[in-house]
Structure 1
Amino acid sequence: MAKKILFLVGDYVEDYEVMVPFQALAALGYQVHAVCPGKKAGEFVRTAVHDFEGDQTYSEKRGHNFTLNYSFDEVNEHEYDALVIPGGRAPEYIRLNPRVLEITRHFFTANKPVAAICHGLQVLAAAGVLNGRRCTAYAAVGPDLPLIGAEYHELPADQAITDGNLVTAPAWPAHPAWLAQFLKVLGAKIEIEPQTEAVPA
């Protein structure tokens, strides 16, 4: 039976940080549910593209409509094997929802795999689950993390860090490292067959 992974998202979640891992994990055979407080399956959240274009902070552009495939009010966190929290602007407001924090705490209490990226650490911070944990985040979130007892590491945007069941990364350029580390924590065993070129008849 496929492992079930829960995504906690909201309006203006970062486009790449929800689309890429959602599709990649689904392609690998995981059952992936994306939910948003106050929304049901079939509804959508708007995404935002955060880019690094030489300004002092990221730029933001309108992304896609990302369709939710499960209803938030129907979530039973005990049925899921892992949690993913993408970044963008969504974490700053979904962390105000007590149920989001309750769901998040369950995964830490049960020592289940959790992957958070960029501003997704704001949800973990609000849930009070980072005390003593090694983690990274988008640099602008970094100063908040030691204040709640986290061991914050400022990493290049394309790197990730694993601490037990927790995998974190600063931003979407880290997808190869972040997803690879998360898959390892999930216990995935991926075998890639070597590609061979067709020989002309």
Structure 2
Amino acid sequence: MTAIVVALTPEFADWECALLMAVARSYLDVTVKTATADGRPVSSMGGLHVTPDLSFAEIEPHAFDAIVVPGGLAWEKNVVPPGLDELIRAFRAENRMAAGICAAASALAGAGVLNEVRHTGNRLESHQQHPGYAGSSLYVAGPKAVSDGGVVTAAGTAPYTFTVEVLKGLGLWNATAEEELAPFSAEHR
């Protein structure tokens, strides 16, 4: 069975991971767990209070197929929990998917995992602020998510294509996924 862990930060952008979590769990029989740095509850930008399943320290990358990191205000407010970069790198070292949307795409840049794969995000300049980033030539400007080599990135405006690319990367893109997600793409046609 496929398993995903969603790493939540203070004031995470709840809409950026909600579609993926709902479709994966409810329609594709994926195990979806949430985690925070210390295992304590966290609130989203929208005021959603989440009691996580795990702390970052309890996550064993080999037990999951992907780590998904939604963006949010933690980066703007400089309260990103310690250990997130190491966790992202640990997933890639185990050849597991790492997916980041919005500010979290820049977190992947800071962790150094975008240096050899095509990727996107809110803005190239956001990635370039991170000393560990050396992938400017591989940046793809555009409104949709990008998937390459087990890494999925998206701007905060692309939760639909982010969801699609994560599911495709995990081998879960099938008729059920397409049927459940199609209505969410209608607005963008």
Query: TM-score interval w.r.t. the shorter chain?
Result: 0.7 to 0.9
Shift of 1:136: 0.9
SS in 2 for 1:155: coil
Corresponding residue of 1:53? none
Equivalent of 1:73 in 51, 57, 61: 57
SS in 1 for 2:10: coil
Corresponding residue of 1:55? none
Q: 1:76 to 1:142 in 2, by over 3 A?
A: closer
SS in 2 for 1:13: coil
Percentage identity across paired residues of the two chains: 29
Corresponding residue of 1:12? 11
Higher helix share: 2
- Separation in 2 of the partners of 1:175 and 1:33? 19
| Unaligned segments of structure 2, at least 5 residues | 180-189
Corresponding residue of 2:108? 124
- Separation in 2 of the partners of 1:20 and 1:189? 14
Query: Under a length normalisation based on structure 1, what TM-score does the superposition of the two structures give?
Result: 0.74
CA contact (8 A) 1:146 1:152 kept: no
Shift of 1:127: 1.8
Map 1:3-82 to 2 at 5 A.
Answer: 3-27=2-26, 28-40=28-40, 44-48=41-45, 62-82=46-66
- Separation in 2 of the partners of 1:180 and 1:131? 23
Deviates more, 1:85-94 or 1:25-34: 85-94
Q: 1:20 to 1:189 in 2, by over 3 A?
A: closer
Q: 1:101 to 1:142 in 2, by over 3 A?
A: closer
- Separation in 2 of the partners of 1:47 and 1:176? 19
Alignment root-mean-square deviation, CA = 2.5
Give per-residue Cα distances to partners, 1:77-107, cap 9 Å, x unaligned: 221111101101235533x51x322221122
Q: 1:148 to 1:187 in 2, by over 3 A?
A: same
Equivalent of 2:88 in 98, 101, 104: 104
- Separation in 2 of the partners of 1:80 and 1:86? 17
- Separation in 1 of the partners of 2:169 and 2:34? 20
| Unaligned segments of structure 1, at least 5 residues | 49-61, 195-201
- Separation in 1 of the partners of 2:51 and 2:96? 26
Shift of 1:73: 3.4
- Separation in 2 of the partners of 1:189 and 1:138? 25
Q: 1:130 to 1:176 in 2, by over 3 A?
A: same
- Separation in 2 of the partners of 1:189 and 1:154? 24
* Total equivalences in the alignment: 172
Report 1 or 2 for greater relative contact order, CA contacts < 8 Å, sequence distance ≥ 6.
Answer: 2
